[in-house]
Amino acid sequence: MNEMINPVVRLSSLTLENIKNVRKGTVCVPMAGITKAGVLGIYGQNGSGKTTVIDALYFLQQIMMGNELEPAIADYMNSESGHAEITAEFIISGNENTLYEVGYHVQLKNIDSKVHIDREFLNCSITKNGSRSNKNIFMDYQRSASNSIFQPQKRLDELVSQDKNLLTDLIVARKIAEKSNCSYIFGESSRDIFSHSDSIPFENYSFVIRTLFRFAVRDLFVVRNMHSGMIATNFRLPMASRIEKDQRGAKGDCAIPLMAPITLDKERKDLLGVIVEQINTVLYTIIPGMNIEVRDYGKQALDSGEDGWKVELMSVRAGHRSIPIRMESEGIIKILSILNALIQAFGNPSICLAIDQLDAGIFEYMLGELLDIFQNSAKGQLIFTSHNLRALEMLDKESIMFSTTNPENRYIHIKNVKGSNNLRSMYIRSISLGGQDEVIYEETDSLEIARAFRKAGRSAQNDWEISSCCNR
The upper half-sphere exposure of residue 470, i.e. CA atoms within 13 Å in the direction of its Cβ, equals 6
Average pLDDT over residues 163-175: 92
Report how far residue 439's alpha carbon sits from residue 403's, in angstroms, rounded to the nearest whole number: 9
pLDDT at residue 417, as a whole number? 85
Average pLDDT over residues 288-312: 91
Report how far residue 304's alpha carbon sits from residue 392's, in angstroms, rounded to the nearest whole number: 52
Average pLDDT over residues 341-350: 90
Ranges assigned E (strand) in 203-351: 220-223, 236-245, 248-257, 262-264, 290-299, 309-317, 323-324
On average, the pLDDT of the chain sits at 87
The upper half-sphere exposure of residue 6, i.e. CA atoms within 13 Å in the direction of its Cβ, equals 11
Average pLDDT over residues 23-36: 89
**Residue 189: band (very low, low, confident or very high) from pLDDT cuts 50, 70, 90:** very high
pTM of the model: 0.89
Pick from 144, 150, 147: which is nearest to 170 by CA? 150
pLDDT tens digits for range 211-268: 999 999 999 999 887 765 555 445 567 676 676 655 445 565 667 777 889 999 998 8
> Helices 166-180 & 188-195, crossing angle to 10 degrees?
150
Residue 445 has pLDDT above 70, yes or no: no
**Residue 186: band (very low, low, confident or very high) from pLDDT cuts 50, 70, 90:** very high
**Which class in CATH covers the domain with range 1-224+356-441?**
alpha beta
Report how far residue 49's alpha carbon sits from residue 353's, in angstroms, rounded to the nearest whole number: 18
pLDDT at residue 247, as a whole number? 44
pLDDT at residue 1, as a whole number? 43
Q: Which has the minimum average pLDDT: 135-149, 243-257, 370-384, 450-464?
A: 243-257
pLDDT tens digits for range 49-72: 999 999 999 999 999 999 999 999
Pick from 383, 379, 381: which is nearest to 348 by CA? 379
The answer to whether 296 and 304 have CB atoms below 8 angstroms apart is: no
Q: Which residues pair with 11 in a beta bridge?
A: 90
pLDDT at residue 400, as a whole number? 95
pLDDT tens digits for range 140-161: 999 999 889 999 999 999 999 8
Q: Which residues pair with 141 in a beta bridge?
A: 120
Q: Return the percentage of the chain with pLDDT > 90, whole number.
A: 55
**Residue 124: band (very low, low, confident or very high) from pLDDT cuts 50, 70, 90:** very high
Ranges assigned E (strand) in 246-308: 248-257, 262-264, 290-299
